[in-house]
Structure 1
């Protein structure tokens, strides 16, 4: 307390005004914390409010075996509702990002923005608690530390979601050729496209569960009455892969004009296999350039130290005797 009071006194230049500001800040913080705690307790314990929250998030009736949302999840959804897109029927960039990362829940954008809002506040509080432990800390350095904590808290969820998105898209891209080969075999054996996708999803459930889930979802949408072309477009939107979008366009044209789906899948599988080979060759060609920096900063200093070090020591000993 004395440390924070000293910082405010150095900034204001008046001890009495600094004490008033300090007491006012503590009182306001305590009042806001108490009001927030009371509202959260009332909102989470009231069954009517909980039921209304479930209805707002689209969980009026929970699916069989689906666990009910926790109080923490409902609280995060309520906090993040102010930041999520309010336009109905329009997919926001946040929802697209979360869908590509594997979060398809209707409340995912609310939880995402709530975490991005609350995490900086939490890290700011931790920074304020840690400032007295740093000796001889100036006001400017303290402000920079608090600002850095807030920036880290704001950017960390976005970085995590982006990394998860890249990893998921990489796994889908790696599993896509095998799924194409299996679909070609299923279609040539006489199965229709939805049944072929269902069979491939069953076969890839263990090895590639994410792609199997996406294919099974396409089959569910087709059974629900959605046209095949629309269900395939939804698949391309959920995955975010250009390869899947190209396949969807080819399959849509094949279904529209009545051409052979098996021939379309076989041709695209060959093209995709060639494209994957070219991507691997491109990555292999970049290895030489990428190895330059580890060689310069890691290997060459050690080499020069071993090769030239004894010579330099001998020269210093020789001139030292003179």
Structure 2
């Protein structure tokens, strides 16, 4: 045992035994995790679900349809949050980022888990290849090099989804005033609200595809027979933009009280145009403040060199002469 310890210490450094034990433990976890997570579905529960759906399949049909199921279905208990609020929050965030798949939450958590494990494996390999011979490496530095890539891999999907969510919301916010103006023109030309939504979705797709997708989804849900108020509220939740939520409230109130949709759209479109101008003015007013630091950094040092440089050079020459 002492010979093995001395061999590991001599080849991998002071933390050689700890690294080997940790690597073996990680490999054992990766090897046994699929077996632990694999859950056999109860045949009685499966039969009950089929009876509730009113579907009777032959064994051959079950084999053919079973191959098309999601491969992560058997791991859903591990990959999906148990808390309903947490699941709804992640689901809503993914929908606002443009991921509307039924299994998007499952894929999101799988990406976090897989990239985290891959990052830890990369950190271990990097430490064994390049840093194992370092004698002045502390325990904290070792953990940082090994666990750091795992933390980065785990947080990468969250950063990506948040970035996509912000970009999509910005695109919807920028294109919404133009979409309202076009919708107002369509309604005043005699088209219904449903027809105007389809027309606007078709026209703004080259410039604002995210907003066009939302309008198309609204039209499809209305055609499917879903209640218009519910469809509009769902659109406001999917977009996550305050302007869209206010627009949905205006349309619902207009339909509830029986007022003209064209008049409501005219007033709200005017407000959206003014709001867009105000956002542009706000960005323009912030620009001088943002440029101040850059301007000072680029102009003050050359100015000081020009003004103080000759005097400093003269002082050094006088001192050298004395």
User: Mean alpha-carbon deviation: is it higher for 307-316 or for 253-262?
Assistant: 307-316
User: Mean alpha-carbon deviation: is it higher for 130-139 or for 226-235?
Assistant: 130-139
- In 2 relative to 1, CA 181–98 (structure 1 residues): closer, same or farther, beyond 3 Å? same
Determine whether 1:115 maps to 2:75.
no
For the residue of structure 1 that corresponds to 2:78, the secondary structure is coil
Asked if the contact 1:80/1:111 (under 8 Å) is kept, the reply is: no
For the residue of structure 1 that corresponds to 2:15, the secondary structure is helix
For the residue of structure 1 that corresponds to 2:122, the secondary structure is helix
Shift of 1:317: 2.7
Q: Deviation per CA, 1:175-204: give whole Å up to 9, x if none.
A: 111110110000001111011101111112
Q: Distance in 1 between matches of 2:84 and 2:225?
A: 22
Backbone CA RMSD of aligned residues: 3.2
Determine whether 1:239 maps to 2:246.
no
User: Mean alpha-carbon deviation: is it higher for 181-190 or for 141-150?
Assistant: 141-150
| Superposition TM-score, scaled by structure 2 size | 0.79
Q: Which ranges of 4 or more aligned residues in structure 1 deviate by more than 3 Å?
A: 1-5, 21-40, 47-55, 77-81, 85-91, 296-299
For the residue of structure 1 that corresponds to 2:124, the secondary structure is helix
| Superposition TM-score, scaled by structure 1 size | 0.79
The aligned counterpart of 2:186 is 186
Asked if the contact 1:81/1:110 (under 8 Å) is kept, the reply is: no
User: Mean alpha-carbon deviation: is it higher for 129-138 or for 206-215?
Assistant: 129-138
- In 2 relative to 1, CA 202–307 (structure 1 residues): closer, same or farther, beyond 3 Å? same
Describe how 1:252-271 pairs up with structure 2 within 5 A. Answer: 252-271=252-271
Describe how 1:23-102 pairs up with structure 2 within 5 A. Answer: 24-35=21-32, 51-52=65-66, 54-55=68-69, 74-75=71-72, 81-86=77-82, 92-102=88-98
- In 2 relative to 1, CA 250–175 (structure 1 residues): closer, same or farther, beyond 3 Å? same
Q: Distance in 2 between matches of 1:25 and 1:145?
A: 14
The aligned counterpart of 1:7 is 14
Determine whether 1:105 maps to 2:112.
no
Shift of 1:126: 1.2
Please tell me whether Structure 1 or Structure 2 has the larger radius of gyration of its CA atoms: 2
- In 2 relative to 1, CA 206–23 (structure 1 residues): closer, same or farther, beyond 3 Å? closer
Q: Distance in 2 between matches of 1:307 and 1:79?
A: 70
The aligned counterpart of 2:144 is 144
Q: Distance in 2 between matches of 1:50 and 1:219?
A: 34
Q: Distance in 2 between matches of 1:36 and 1:203?
A: 50
Shift of 1:305: 3.1
Instruction: Give unmatched runs, 5+ long, in structure 1.
Output: 10-17, 58-73
Q: Deviation per CA, 1:67-99: give whole Å up to 9, x if none.
A: xxxxxxx45x66565242346799611111111
For the residue of structure 1 that corresponds to 2:14, the secondary structure is helix
User: Mean alpha-carbon deviation: is it higher for 297-306 or for 166-175?
Assistant: 297-306
Matched length: 290
Q: Name the structure, 1 or 2, with higher relative contact order (CA <8 Å, separation 6+).
A: 2
Asked if the contact 2:80/2:87 (under 8 Å) is kept, the reply is: no
2:130 maps to which of 121, 124, 133? 133
Q: Distance in 2 between matches of 1:31 and 1:160?
A: 31
Q: Deviation per CA, 1:213-254: give whole Å up to 9, x if none.
A: 110110111111111111111111110010000010010011
- In 2 relative to 1, CA 86–138 (structure 1 residues): closer, same or farther, beyond 3 Å? closer
The aligned counterpart of 2:295 is 295
User: Mean alpha-carbon deviation: is it higher for 303-312 or for 29-38?
Assistant: 29-38
